[in-house]
């Protein structure tokens, strides 16, 4: 049974919307790179397992950044994988620095750019130093907005700067993704000095942007809801409001609500099933308090059977000040 969305679109538009060509090209590249191994199992089985992994969202694990950001589905899958892999950081109440969160991101994507992590941290830290500690939930929801809507936010930053300089919003030129990279985000000093921009004027510009932006952007109705609650706002104030908006998180669909962030029943059940299959492990864990003193073993990281990790590099876990609490964390 075909969905109403599928019936309403011509074939070429539906395939383009779902980025099917992107996945076909990637599958063929992997097939050619691993043809000797795949020949033992058969091409049909390879394509079946490849597209099953795409549907399950596991196809982005340990892949290069260019592939992870290639489609909205890839970005949402990466966000979900990061949450599921490292939610124990939040469960334990651990606070980490920006560089420590970046190391976690590099465990899933070895060439993940530091700049994106820094921008996400800035949404949380605002005026604080970049080496301050952050909770897992605060960083995760800020990172979601920054990573998933990165091209949109570059255009928003350009519009915000134009409004600060007094340009007529009707003549605002929206940059392309390439030109937007050369724009500098408004500094907190500029934003504080001018107390931001008028929210209604800002929304008029963003409404036009959402209508013609070729990349993913938040639903315009939710953007209007965010901006209708204030008269003026700063650029980072806008990003904070987006990261904390329940409706935007639901519309994106990658992460659970904040109240359910530490719970993943499906994954917990699967882990319990796997642990139960290891002889003596459950008994040793529940035997007594002394079991907690036993050294833990880190399981090896296993990559996709179809893609050699020849491009992966070791993550440098050392970072200046990454394990030291700052004065701000003690207050």
Residues 187-206 have a mean pLDDT of 72
CA 286 vs CA 9, 181, 222, 282, 291: distances in Å:
56, 53, 48, 6, 7
pLDDT of residue 272: 73
How many CA atoms lie within 13 Å of 2's alpha carbon, on the beta-carbon side? 9
Mean predicted confidence (pLDDT) in 158-180:
66
The pLDDT value recorded for residue 9 is 64
Sign of the CA dihedral with 82 first, then 84, 85, and 87 last: positive
The per-residue pLDDT of the chain, averaged, comes to 79
Query: What mean pLDDT comes out for the span 286-311?
Result: 42
- In the block, tokens 């209007």 appear at 224
**Residues 328/95, Cβ–Cβ less than 8 Å:** no
Residue 13 has pLDDT above 70, yes or no: yes
With CA atoms as reference, report the closest residue to 71 among 62, 59, 81, 87. 59
Cα–Cα nearest to 71, from 285, 269, 215: 215
pTM greater than the 0.75 cutoff: no
Could you tell me the residue ranges of all domains in the chain?
A: 7-56
CA 42 vs CA 31, 35, 37, 38, 49: distances in Å:
10, 9, 9, 6, 11
Q: pLDDT tens for residues 239-270?
A: 999 999 999 999 999 999 988 888 877 777 77
């Amino acid at each position: 049974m075909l969905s109403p969305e599928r019936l309403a679109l011509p074939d070429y538009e539906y395939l383009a919307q779902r980025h099917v060509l992107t996945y076909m090209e990637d599958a063929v590249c992997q097939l050619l790179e691993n043809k000797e191994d795949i020949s033992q199992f058969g091409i049909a089985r390879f394509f079946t397992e490849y597209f099953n992994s795409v549907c399950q969202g596991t196809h982005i694990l340990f892949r290069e950044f260019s592939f992870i950001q290639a489609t909205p589905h890839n970005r949402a899958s990466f966000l979900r994988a990061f949450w599921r892999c490292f939610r124990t950081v939040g469960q334990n109440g651990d606070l980490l620095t920006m560089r420590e969160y970046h190391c976690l991101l590099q465990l899933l994507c070895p060439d993940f750019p530091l700049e994106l992590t820094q921008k996400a941290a800035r949404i949380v830290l605002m005026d604080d130093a970049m080496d301050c500690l952050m909770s897992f939930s605060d960083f995760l929801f800020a990172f979601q907005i920054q990573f998933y809507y990165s091209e949109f936010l570059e255009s928003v930053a350009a519009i915000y700067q134009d409004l600060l300089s007094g340009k007529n919003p009707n003549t605002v030129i929206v940059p392309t993704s390439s030109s937007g990279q050369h724009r500098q985000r408004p500094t907190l000093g500029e934003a504080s000095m001018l107390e931001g921009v008028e929210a209604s004027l800002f929304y008029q510009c963003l409404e036009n942007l959402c209508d013609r932006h070729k990349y993913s952007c938040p639903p315009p109705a939710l953007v209007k809801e965010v901006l209708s609650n204030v008269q003026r706002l700063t650029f980072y104030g806008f990003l904070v409001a987006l990261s904390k908006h329940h409706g935007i998180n639901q519309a994106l669909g990658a992460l659970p609500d904040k109240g359910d962030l530490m719970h993943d029943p499906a994954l917990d059940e699967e882990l319990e099933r796997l642990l139960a299959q290891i002889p003596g492990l459950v008994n040793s864990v529940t035997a007594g308090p002394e079991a907690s003193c036993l050294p833990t073993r880190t399981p090896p990281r296993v990559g996709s059977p179809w893609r050699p990790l020849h491009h992966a590099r070791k993550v440098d876990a050392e970072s200046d000040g990454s394990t030291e609490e700052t004065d701000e964390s003690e207050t």
